Amino acid sequence: DTAVSQTPKYLVTQMGNDKSIKCEQNLGHDTMYWYKQDSKKFLKIMFSYNNKELIINETVPNRFSPKSPDKAHLNLHINSLELGDSAVYFCASSQGSAARNTIYFGEGSWLTVV
Amino acid sequence: AQTVTQSQPEMSVQEAETVTLSCTYDTSESDYYLFWYKQPPSRQMILVIRQEAYKQQNATENRFSVNFQKAAKSFSLKISDSQLGDAAMYFCAFIDSNYQLIWGAGTKLIIKP
């Protein structure tokens, strides 16, 4: 029954590795997001997709590549992981613009790069 | 630049008492939305309450209510009859014209039994 689910919840990996975080929503929403929460708890938007099309692409390294195979999924792939990538990554979704509709968040994926 | 400020890094309240978390924001827009989110130890972000700027009436959700002062750009959250399950990080957030959520730094709420 989870509305927005992301896997894995915890990921510990070495520098230089490539990893993916998957996200799925069963709310029928047309817009999905990836946020990064750093050690200071600030949440920063990374990407936003609407109907599988990229609509927000903040200044993030090219090592981060989102992929949306369909409206219900938005996966995040990270190449050549660096220590500074350690953070909690949140997937979220909304129906239409987040400006006017509630965003639903997943439980977060805690990435630790060692 | 649009910003959200939560000046209280940590607040504590006795169980069953009332606590108010403060939030101020800065924007030049006239139509926007404000949110309070709760992040318990499970780390999930849970929407607590939402306020549309064009509405003068303060939003309420059961024990949670806001004091929205548009002219002062203030958006405080009041939690009545605090319960142990209310313990969490609380984030104030604002939607900007690019449809991005601008977040405050968060306030850690501790409930004393």
- Mean pLDDT over A6-28 rounds to 95
Query: According to the model, what pLDDT value does residue A104 have?
Result: 85
Number of neighbours of residue B110 by Cβ within 10 angstroms: 13
Whose CA is closest to A106, among A93, A95, A97, A96? A93
User: How many folded domains does chain B comprise?
Assistant: 1
Instruction: Looking at the complex, report in whole angstroms how far the Cα of residue A32 sits from the nearest Cα belonging to chain B.
Output: 12
Query: According to the model, what pLDDT value does residue B77 have?
Result: 98
Instruction: Please say whether the dihedral angle defined by the alpha carbons of residues A22, A26, B101 and B29, taken in this order, is positive or negative.
Output: positive
Query: Collapsing DSSP states into helix, strand and coil, what is residue B85?
Result: helix
CB A113 within 8 A of CB A13: yes
Average pLDDT value over all residues in chain A: 88
- Domain of B52: which CATH number? 2.60.40.10
CB B39 within 8 A of CB B52: no
Residue-wise pLDDT tens digits, A43-73:
788 888 888 888 777 778 899 999 999 999 9
Instruction: Looking at the complex, report in whole angstroms how far the Cα of residue A110 sits from the nearest Cα belonging to chain B.
Output: 9
Judged by CB atoms closer than 8 Å, whether chains meet at A105 and B101 is answered as no
Query: According to the model, what pLDDT value does residue B28 have?
Result: 83
Query: What CATH class has A4-113?
Result: mainly beta
Range of the domain at B43: 3-112
B31 pLDDT band, cuts 50/70/90, is: confident
> Is residue A102 pLDDT above 80, yes or no?
no
Q: Chain B contacts of A45, Cβ < 8 Å?
A: 100-101
